Amino acid sequence: MTTDTTAPLGRWARLKSRWPLLNNAQKFYTVSCLLALLNFVSAFQVEFLLTLLGFCVVTALIIDIWNVFEHLWHKLAGKTFLIAIYLGLANYCYALSQSQINSLIGIRADLVPHSVHLNLFLMAPLWSFGLAFVVLVFYTSYHTIKGFLMLLLRPIGVRSHHLSDEVHPVLFLMIRIFMLPVVIVYLGIAMSGYIVGGDLTDTDVNLIDGQHGAPLRIETKLAPNEQSAATPDNTAHAERKSVTLFGQPTSQDPLSYLATPNLPWIDHIVAGFLYHVESMGRSNCQQQGDEHVVYINDYEILVITPNNSEKSGYQFTIRACNSKFVPKVQVINP
C-alpha cells in the first residue's frame, strides 16, 4: 500500500503560486494571521511574537490607509480635502502648544518660540494617535459597508471582484475586520505609554467620559515582580500618579475638552530645555545663584529657578530687571 503525497504537494504549490498575487497589505495580513495562531498556541506568553504581531498588523493597516491617501492625493477634490484637514489640525496644535507654554511659565509664549516648537514636537504623537483612531472609525465603516454590499448585491449578479481589484477580497475583508480589535489594543497600549512617559506602573490615566460628569479612569497595577516586594507599610505610602488627558465639557463651556492636556513629563522636558538652552544664565539684570532669565521687556524679566517641589522641576517668577544701566521709572501723579 502506497501513500499519496502528491495532494499535499499540490496544495502547497497552489498556495505558493498565489503568494505573488497578493499585494503588500495582504501579505502582512497573512503573516499576522500566522503570528496570531502562534501566539494563541503559546498562550500569549512569548513577548517577541506579540511584538512581531503588532508590527505586522499595524504595518498592514498603514499600507491600506496609505493606498487610500495616495488615491485621494492624485485627485483635485481629495487633495483639497487633505490640505484643509492638515491646515486645521496644524493651526489647532500650534495654538494648543502656545497655550500649554503659557500655562507653564505664566507669560505670553511668543517670547520663547523654541520651547513652543519643542512642545509641539513632543505633542505630535498624541495628535497622531487621535487621528489614527478617527481614521480607524472611517476604515471600519468603509469595510463594513463594503461587506454588506458584497452580500446584498450578490443575488443580482454582482460579485466581490467587481467591488475590489485584489485577489480573495472576501477572505481578506474578514481578516481586516478580525484584526481591527488587535490594532486598537496595540494603539491603546502605545498611547497609554506615551501619556505617562513610558512608565505605566502606579499611574491613573484619566480620559474624558460624558456620563455622570466624571472622567474615565484607567488604573494600572504594579508589575508582577513588584507586587511580591510590596508590603502594607510601603503600599500605604506609595503615591499614585494621575494624568488627565482632556477636560470635562459643561453646558457653560462645551469646548473645554479641547483644553491643554495634562502631561507632566512634557512640562518637565520643556521646562528643562527653557532653563538650560533658551534662557540666559548671565544678563545685565540682577541675578542670584542659579537663576536664569528671559527678557519680557526693558524693565521686566522671567526668572527661572530649579525647584524640585514644582511639578515641572522649575519655578517661574516675574520681577523687575533692576539693572543699573536701565533708568528707574517713577510714576508722578499730578
φ, ψ of residue 282 to 5 degrees: the values are -135, 140
CB atoms within 10 A of CB 5: 8
Q: What is the pLDDT of residue 147?
A: 73
- Asked whether residue 33 is assigned to any structural domain, the reply reads yes
What is the model's pLDDT at position 144?
A: 76
Percentage of the chain exceeding pLDDT 90: 13
Quickly tell me which residue has 491646515 as its cell. 87
pLDDT in tens, 153-182: 777 766 655 556 677 777 888 888 888 888
Do 240 and 112 share a structural domain? Answer: no
| Residue 8 resides in a domain | no
Which of 49-63, 181-195, 196-210 is modeled with the greatest confidence? 49-63
Is pLDDT of 219 > 70? no
Whether 273 is in a domain gets the answer no
Q: Is residue 57 part of a domain?
A: yes
178 and 291 part of one domain: no
| Whether residues 222 and 284 fall in one domain | no
In tens, the pLDDT along 295-305 reads 998 888 899 99
Per DSSP, helices labelled H in the chain are: 6-18, 24-41, 47-73, 76-105, 113-152, 160-163, 169-195, 224-227, 232-237, 264-273
* Same domain flag for 57 and 84: yes
Closest CA to 289 of 258, 315, 311, 268: 315
- Find the mean pLDDT for residues 44-73: 86
214 found inside a domain:
yes
Annotate 29-72 with DSSP letters as a single string.
HHHHHHHHHHHHHTTT--HHHHHHHHHHHHHHHHHHHHHHHHHH
Task: DSSP for 73-108, please give it.
Answer: HTSHHHHHHHHHHHHHHHHHHHHHHHHHHHHHHSS-
For residue 228, give its domain range: 203-258
Q: Looking at the domain assignment, is residue 213 inside a domain?
A: yes
Whether the per-residue pLDDT at 4 is higher than 50: the answer is: yes
Domain boundary among 195, 211, 239: 195
1, burial (CB in 10 Å: exposed 0-12, middle 13-18, buried 19+): exposed
120 and 65 part of one domain: yes
- Report the alpha-carbon distance of residue 212 to residue 215 in Å, rounded: 9
Domain ends where: 165, 195, 225? Answer: 195
Above 80 in pLDDT, residue 223? no
What does pLDDT average to over the chain? Answer: 75
Of the ranges 80-94, 217-231, 236-250, which is most confident?
Answer: 80-94
- Give residues with Cβ within 8 angstroms of 123, minimum separation 6: 93, 96, 97, 100, 261, 263, 266
Please tell me whether residues 286 and 253 are part of one structural domain: no
Question: Does pLDDT of 269 surpass 50?
Answer: yes
How far is it, in rounded angstroms, from Cα 94 to Cα 106?
17
Asked whether residue 45 falls in the same domain as residue 189, the answer is: yes
One domain for residues 159 and 238: no
The answer to whether the predicted template modeling score (pTM) of the entire model surpasses 0.75 is no
pLDDT (0 to 100) of residue 200: 54
Structural domain tally of the chain? Answer: 3
The answer on 316 and 188 residing in a single domain is no
Q: Quick check: is 5 in a domain?
A: no
C-alpha cell at 125: 504623537
Q: What is the DSSP letter of 285?
A: S
Contact of 78 with 71, CB cutoff 8 Å:
yes
Burial level of 315, CB count in 10 A (0-12/13-18/19+)? middle
In a domain, 325, yes or no: no
Give residue-wise pLDDT tens across range 272-328. 999 999 999 888 888 888 889 999 988 888 999 999 988 889 999 998 888 766 666
Between CA 271 and CA 99 the distance in angstroms is: 14
Q: Average pLDDT in the 216-226 region? A: 44
113 and 172 both lie in a single domain: yes
Is 224 in the same domain as 191?
Answer: no
Confidence (pLDDT) at 3: 52
